[in-house]
C-alpha cells in the first residue's frame, strides 16, 4: 500500500507584501501602478490559495455515501449518443451536432471573447478563421473529414472547430485512478478538469470555459456493424478521446503533463511541416478503436511519437493490468504498474510525475491518496471510488465530469459535477 500521506499545514499570510522603496519609485505611470497592483493582488491570492489548500472548508474529510450521485455536487447524468463508424467520416457526428450546435456556439463565443480581450484588434480571430482551416487539411484521415462534418452540421466555422479540438492538446488538468479490488477486478475512475486560467467569473466564482463545457459533455457508443467497439465520455465537437473503454479489454484516461518541451512546440513543428508525430487525442481514439488487448494498447501508448507530453492511465481486465505511462514526446519515462503483492493495489495520477512531489499550489495527489488508503482494497468499488473523486480538492472548480469504468462488465457511467463554494479554483 502507498504510505499514508501527511497533509502539511501552511500558515496563512496576512496582507499585501511590503516592497522596497526603490521599487515604488519606479512606478511613474498609471499603467505601471496598475500593473504593480495587479501583481500584488495575484501574489496575495496565490499565497491565500496555498494557505487554504489544506485547510477546511477548501479541503475536507474523505467523503462517503455520495453514490448514487445526489446533492449539490451532482448536476445530472451524462446523455448517451451513438456514432456509427460505418458512416462516411463527415456524416458520423451529424445527429449529435444537430442537438448540441447551440451549446458549441456558446462555448466558441466565450473563447472568442477571451481571445479578443488579449488581442483587441480581432486579428487573432481572423487568424483562426483564415489559417486553421488550412491546418485541418494536414490532419490525418478520418479526423480531418470528421472536423469538416462537424463544422457543416453545426454551422460553426471550420477554423473555430479546429481551435476547439486543439485546446484539449494543451489545457486538460485531471485526476485519474485505476484500482484492483480484492477479487482482482479492475475499476477505473477520473475527474476531468478543464478551463484553467480561461476566464474567471468573479460573480459566480467559477471558470467561464468550465461552465460552458458542461452542457457539451456526452457519452458516446462507437459502433461498427451494429456492434459496440468502444465507449467514451467526451465533449460534443471533439473527435479525439480523453476518457474511454473498450469493453472486456481495457480502459484509458488522459491527463496533461506539464513540460517545457510541451504541446505548443509539437504544434509549431506540425505547422512547419514536421509531421512524424501523433496528436494525443487522435492516438487515444485510434487505440480505443483498433487495439484489441491491454498489451497492445500499452505498447502503442508507450512507443508512439507524440506532439505533446502526456500521462496515459491504462486499466485492463485481469489482475495486475493497470499502469501509468508517463510520456515525453519521444519516450516513455519510468512506467509504474499495479502490483497488489507489493501493496500497490491502486495508481493515482494527477498532473505531476509520480516520482516527484506535486506543485505546492496544486496538490490533489495527497488528499486523493489519503482517501484511497482509508477506503482499503477490500472496500474499493465504483461506489467508493466516486466518494474519493467527490472529496475536495480532488473535486474543484475546474471539474466538469466524473467517469467510472469497469472493464469486466463493460460498464461506463458519467456525471456532470459542481463544486459549491467555498471550493478550490483548481
Residues, the chain? 426
Q: In 10 A of CB 61, how many CB atoms?
A: 12
Query: How does pLDDT run across 210-265, given as a tens digit for each residue?
Result: 999 999 999 999 999 999 999 999 999 999 999 999 999 999 999 999 877 776 78
Whether the CB-CB separation of 212 and 110 falls below 8 Å is answered with yes
Q: Cell numbers for 204, please give them.
A: 459566480
Whether the CB-CB separation of 2 and 372 falls below 8 Å is answered with yes
Q: Cell numbers for 246, please give them.
A: 473498450
Please give the pLDDT value at position 344.
Answer: 97
Whether the CB-CB separation of 185 and 340 falls below 8 Å is answered with no
Distance CA 187, CA 405 (A): 6
List the beta strands (DSSP E) in 298-358: 310-315, 322-327, 332-337, 346-349
In the set 62, 174, 323, 423, the catalytic residue is 174
176 burial (CB, 10 Å; 0-12 / 13-18 / 19+) is buried
Mean local confidence (pLDDT), 73-90: 98
Backbone angles phi, psi at 257, to 5 degrees: -115, 120
Q: How confident is the model at residue 119 (pLDDT cuts 50, 70, 90)?
A: confident
Lowest mean pLDDT among 115-124, 275-284, 334-343, 346-355: 115-124
Whether the CB-CB separation of 299 and 312 falls below 8 Å is answered with no
Distance CA 189, CA 210 (A): 20
**Active-site residue 419, yes or no?**
no
Q: How confident is the model at residue 55 (pLDDT cuts 50, 70, 90)?
A: low
List the beta strands (DSSP E) in 258-410: 310-315, 322-327, 332-337, 346-349, 399-406
Q: For residue 5, is pLDDT > 50?
A: no
Distance CA 253, CA 189 (A): 8
Mean local confidence (pLDDT), 55-81: 93
Closest of 190, 178, 77 to residue 380, by C-alpha: 178
Question: Among all chains, which residue has been given the C-alpha cell 474523505?
Answer: 62
- The gap between the terminal CA atoms of the chain, to the nearest Å, is 27
Q: In 10 A of CB 39, how many CB atoms?
A: 12
Query: How does pLDDT run across 364-389, given as a tens digit for each residue?
Result: 999 999 999 999 999 999 999 999 99
Q: Cell numbers for 267, please give them.
A: 504544434
Amino acid at each position: 500500500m502507498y504510505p499514508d500521506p501527511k497533509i502539511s499545514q501552511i500558515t496563512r499570510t496576512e496582507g499585501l507584501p511590503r516592497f522596497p522603496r526603490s521599487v515604488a519609485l519606479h512606478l511613474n505611470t498609471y499603467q505601471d501602478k496598475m500593473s504593480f497592483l495587479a501583481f500584488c493582488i495575484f501574489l496575495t491570492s496565490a499565497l491565500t490559495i496555498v494557505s487554504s489548500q489544506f485547510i477546511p472548508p477548501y479541503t475536507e474529510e474523505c467523503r462517503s455515501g455520495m453514490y448514487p450521485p445526489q446533492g449539490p455536487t451532482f448536476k445530472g447524468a451524462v446523455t448517451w449518443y451513438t456514432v456509427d463508424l460505418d458512416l462516411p467520416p463527415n456524416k458520423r457526428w451529424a445527429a449529435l451536432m444537430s442537438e448540441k450546435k447551440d451549446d458549441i456556439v456558446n462555448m466558441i463565443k466565450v473563447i472568442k471573447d477571451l481571445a479578443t480581450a488579449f488581442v483587441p484588434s480581432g486579428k487573432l480571430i481572423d487568424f483562426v478563421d483564415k489559417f486553421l482551416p488550412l491546418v485541418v487539411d494536414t490532419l490525418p484521415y478520418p479526423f480531418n473529414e470528421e472536423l469538416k462534418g462537424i463544422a457543416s452540421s453545426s454551422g460553426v466555422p471550420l477554423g473555430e472547430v479546429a481551435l476547439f479540438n486543439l485546446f484539449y492538446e494543451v489545457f486538460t488538468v485531471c485526476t485519474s485512478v485505476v484500482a484492483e479490488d480484492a477479487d482482482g477486478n479492475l475499476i477505473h475512475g477520473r475527474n476531468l478538469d478543464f478551463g484553467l486560467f480561461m476566464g474567471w467569473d468573479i460573480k459566480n466564482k467559477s471558470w467561464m470555459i468550465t461552465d460552458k463545457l458542461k452542457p457539451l459533455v456526452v457519452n458516446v457508443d462507437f459502433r461498427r456493424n451494429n456492434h459496440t467497439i468502444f465507449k467514451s465520455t467526451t465533449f460534443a465537437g471533439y473527435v479525439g478521446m480523453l476518457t474511454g473503454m473498450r469493453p472486456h479489454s481495457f480502459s484509458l484516461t488522459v491527463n496533461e503533463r506539464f513540460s517545457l518541451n510541451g504541446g505548443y512546440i509539437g504544434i509549431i513543428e506540425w505547422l512547419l511541416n514536421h509531421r512524424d508525430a501523433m496528436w494525443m487525442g487522435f492516438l487515444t481514439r485510434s487505440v480505443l478503436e483498433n487495439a484489441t488487448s491491454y498489451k497492445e494498447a500499452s505498447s502503442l501508448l508507450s512507443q508512439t511519437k507524440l506532439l505533446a507530453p502526456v500521462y496515459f492511465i491504462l486499466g485492463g481486465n485481469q489482475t495486475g493490468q493497470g499502469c501509468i505511462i508517463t510520456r515525453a514526446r519521444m519516450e516513455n519515462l519510468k512506467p509504474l504498474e499495479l502490483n497488489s503483492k507489493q501493496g500497490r493495489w491502486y495508481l493515482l495520477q494527477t498532473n505531476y510525475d509520480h516520482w516527484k512531489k506535486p506543485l505546492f499550489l496544486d496538490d490533489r495527489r495527497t488528499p486523493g491518496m489519503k482517501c484511497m488508503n482509508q477506503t482499503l482494497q477490500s472496500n474499493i468499488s465504483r461506489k467508493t471510488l466516486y466518494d474519493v473523486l467527490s472529496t475536495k480538492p480532488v473535486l474543484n472548480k475546474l471539474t466538469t465530469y466524473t467517469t467510472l469504468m469497469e472493464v469486466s462488465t463493460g460498464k461506463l457511467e458519467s456525471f456532470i459535477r459542481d463544486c459549491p463554494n467555498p471550493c478550490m479554483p483548481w
